Amino acid sequence: MTERIPASAPPAGPSRGLLRLLRSDLFKLWHRPLTWGLIAVSLFFVLAAFLTLIYTVLNHASAVLPGHLFGGSVGLGNIIIQQLTLGRRVGEFSCVALAGAAVGVDFSSGALRVVLGRGVARWQVLLSKYLALCVFAVFLALLMTLEAALLAGFLPVLVGGAPGLDLLSAGDLGSILRADLGLLENWVGVMALGVALAIVGRSAAVGVGGGLAYLIAEDLGGRVLPAITFETHVAVFRELTSILYSANLNAFFYHSIPIRLAAELDFLDGVMPTPMVGTAHSLIVAAAFLAALLLISGALFARQERGS
Amino acid sequence: MVGSGNSVPPWANIGGLADSQTAIRTEQLSKSYRGKQVVSELNLEVGRGEIFGFLGPNGAGKTTTIRMLLNLSTPDSGSVELLGGGSGRGRAGVLARVGSLVETPAFYPYLCGRDNLRALCLVLGLPPRQADRALEQVAMSADGGRRFSTYSLGMKQRLGVAAALLGDPELLILDEPANGLDPFGIIQMRGLMRELAAAGVSVFLSSHILAEVGQLCDRVGIIREGRMVLVERVTELLRRDASFVLETDDPEGAARILRDLPGVLALSRDELGRLRVEAPGLQGDQLLRPLVTAGVSVQEFRRHEPTLEEIFLRTLGANAQGG
């Protein structure tokens, strides 16, 4: 005889159901090798940024002197944020890949219908995915910042006169926190892109591949299109380029890091600097971009035949 | 064994059951895809504690029906009622008490079997130990730590059933649960279904393994081109369609006598030259006595109960000819 345990949990209310789904999604991310692989790659690039920094400082010893980029009262903050700048770019690729994979696998494996077949609402499923990915983004930002700070602590050992962690000030912490916000704004945006593409294509491959392709295309387009439109001397092309690339994915981040680092952004991570729009403008554009992606993906997700 | 062990189960005279006795009820359920009618005005009632076999050829509408039962697909018209709960918002609460396996077992390939069940436990608000218990129920404890992507089809199927068992559902809806199982696994699954039914769980299963359905189910329904063409208790079906096999030196003489008997519906000859007599209302001695009296020498005379497979083929064949 089968043992009957009255184990069925009572039907959950919306918030409780969402919390259960979020725990399940975090559990799946935690146990997914891809998550840790992407974290490892992202952290490796922070290390690579640090090695580049050492190379630069060893060749330009004056860089760590007061008044220069990595010296004085703002030097330590700049050293940490310089590493995060390259980390952001890799994190961007990691986030879009994980977002596409996390949502796409529900379609490709059919696991979505198991949850929906238990009466879970579709909006809860999608919202919990977004929330779990946001938790991942915060986790990755924290890990990167911690790594960058720890590596910065080694700099005085390698380069005499470089600022050490003992000089960490409230101003440095504020700068680092602002840079982290810039990372998160950027990553949340690209994750929404990865999720939307996975829903449109109903597969992880479309979410991951499409997301990565967009990021690469944006970088290339940012360099090639302005040159082309300049050559054509057509006003409408210039306007289009201005709309598409003056406030792109990188605009808010540009304003979230110290101005001297922002001026070097293109040199640091290959991203087109976007000095022509202000913080509010860039944030509004990012919010509009995010809202459009959430609306499109949400509407598509709700309309798709359940679990198919 | 047929039945769940109750002497008079509540679904014995199914038809117009009270809500408290009904596990599944559909009324005029219809669904079409791109202009093709897949399910058409389907009426179905499954009682609580009953094991119901849902049969039909490929493309008959079985999976579409199951998807509509589970709210995975929206009917064009008609209604679905599970465990006394109707459609709309109340349906979500009811579905929490329903375990299901639809189409192929669907899990995350990068997680092990146990973690897949634990992830589902978290969604359902169940303690993680339920995952271990479900694995035990389907004899998968030893393989629970292996990654799902390395499982054989039979193991995936067991895990799918284990997932359906999480939370001790009152109703199980299983689409081809025996698919890919070896004979040992099929026997285990049959035992599990019987135990669950004995404990009051209603089981609605579709299967292509008709011998299995015949042994396990209390009632069967046969669907063809989206329409239910037969619903009957298995014992009744087998008894009603029983025939007699007669081997004699004089088949023509025997046929002449039998044809004139009231209650004999049809006579035919099998490949060995034996007479097959279809006379559902008659007892064996009512056929045998006139033959003996007329001096016909009878070498063999026995009752033949058809298999569910024969009934299935006959029903679908007759339906095809009729429609």
Q: Which residues of B touch A111 (CB under 8 A)?
A: 106-108
Task: Decide if A119 and B94 are in contact by the 8 Å CB cutoff.
Answer: yes
Non-local (6+) Cβ contacts of B94 within 8 A are A119, B82, B83, B84, B85
Task: Decide if B72 and A307 are in contact by the 8 Å CB cutoff.
Answer: yes
Query: ipTM value of the model?
Result: 0.82
Sign of the dihedral through C-alpha B176, B177, B181, B184: negative
Between residues 34 and 53 of chain A, which touch chain B (CB distance below 8 Å)? 34
Q: Which residues of A touch B169 (CB under 8 A)?
A: 8
Please choose, from the candidates A234, A261, A25, the residue with its C-alpha nearest in 3D space to the C-alpha of residue A148. A261
Task: Decide if B126 and A21 are in contact by the 8 Å CB cutoff.
Answer: no
Task: Decide if B95 and A119 are in contact by the 8 Å CB cutoff.
Answer: yes
Both tokens of A166, joined, read 């003992």
Residue pair A52/A79 in contact by the 8 Å Cβ criterion: no
How close, in Å, is residue A112 to chain B by CA atoms? 8
Task: Decide if B71 and A109 are in contact by the 8 Å CB cutoff.
Answer: no
For chain B, give the number of residues: 323
The secondary structure of residue A283, as a DSSP letter, is H
A vs B: CB pairs below 8 A = 127
Between residues 111 and 170 of chain A, which touch chain B (CB distance below 8 Å)? 111-121
Substitution target in A15, A118, A129 with the highest count of B β-carbons within 10 Å is A118
A14 touching chain B per CB within 8 A: no
Residue-level pLDDT at B138: 93
Task: Decide if A115 and B196 are in contact by the 8 Å CB cutoff.
Answer: no
Q: Which residues of B touch A21 (CB under 8 A)?
A: 123
Residue-level pLDDT at A67: 75
Q: Which residues of B touch A105 (CB under 8 A)?
A: 108-110
Residue-level pLDDT at A129: 95
Condensed to tens digits (0 to 9), the pLDDT of residues A231-271 reads 777 777 777 666 665 556 677 788 888 877 877 766 555 55
- Can you give the pTM of this predicted structure? 0.82
Mean pLDDT split into 10-residue runs, chain A, 308 residues: 44 76 96 96 94 86 78 84 90 94 90 90 92 97 96 85 83 92 91 92 90 82 70 71 62 80 64 63 80 89 63
Distance (Å, whole) CA A223 – CA B275: 89
Task: Decide if A8 and B195 are in contact by the 8 Å CB cutoff.
Answer: no
Residue-level pLDDT at B308: 76
Residue-level pLDDT at B282: 81
How close, in Å, is residue B73 to chain A by CA atoms? 6
Q: What is the three-state SS of chain B?
A: CCCCCCCCCCCCCCCCCCHHHEEEEEEEEEEEECCEEEEEEEEEEEECCCEEEEECCCCCCHHHHHHHHCCCCCCCEEEEEECCECCCCHHHHHHCCEEEECCCCCCCCCCEHHHHHHHHHHHHCCCCHHHHHHHHHCCCHHHCCCEHHHCCHHHHHHHHHHHHHCCCCCEEEEECCCCCCCHHHHHHHHHHHHHHHHCCCEEEEECCCHHHHHHHCCEEEEEECCEEEEEEEHHHHHHHCCEEEEEECCHHHHHHHHHCCCCCCEEEECCCCCEEEECCCCCHHHHHHHHHHCCCCEEEEEEECCCHHHHHHHHHHHHHHHC
Q: Shortest CB distance from A110 goes to which of B97, B106, B119?
A: B106
How close, in Å, is residue B68 to chain A by CA atoms? 10
Substitution target in B120, B123, B138 with the highest count of A β-carbons within 10 Å is B123
Q: Which residues of B touch A2 (CB under 8 A)?
A: 137, 192, 195-196, 198-199
Both tokens of A156, joined, read 């005085």
Residue-level pLDDT at A167: 81
Task: Decide if B123 and A20 are in contact by the 8 Å CB cutoff.
Answer: yes
Q: Shortest CB distance from A28 goes to which of B91, B97, B111?
A: B111
Between residues 163 and 222 of chain A, which touch chain B (CB distance below 8 Å)? none
Residue-level pLDDT at B68: 92
Q: What is the pLDDT along chain B (323 residues), one digit of tens a residue?
A: 333 333 444 444 445 555 567 899 999 999 998 889 999 999 999 999 899 999 988 888 999 999 999 988 889 999 999 998 766 566 778 898 999 999 888 899 999 999 999 999 999 999 989 999 999 999 999 999 999 999 999 999 999 999 999 999 999 999 988 888 888 888 888 899 999 999 999 999 998 788 888 888 999 999 988 999 889 898 887 777 778 889 988 888 899 998 888 888 888 888 888 888 888 778 888 888 998 898 888 888 888 877 777 777 777 776 555 44
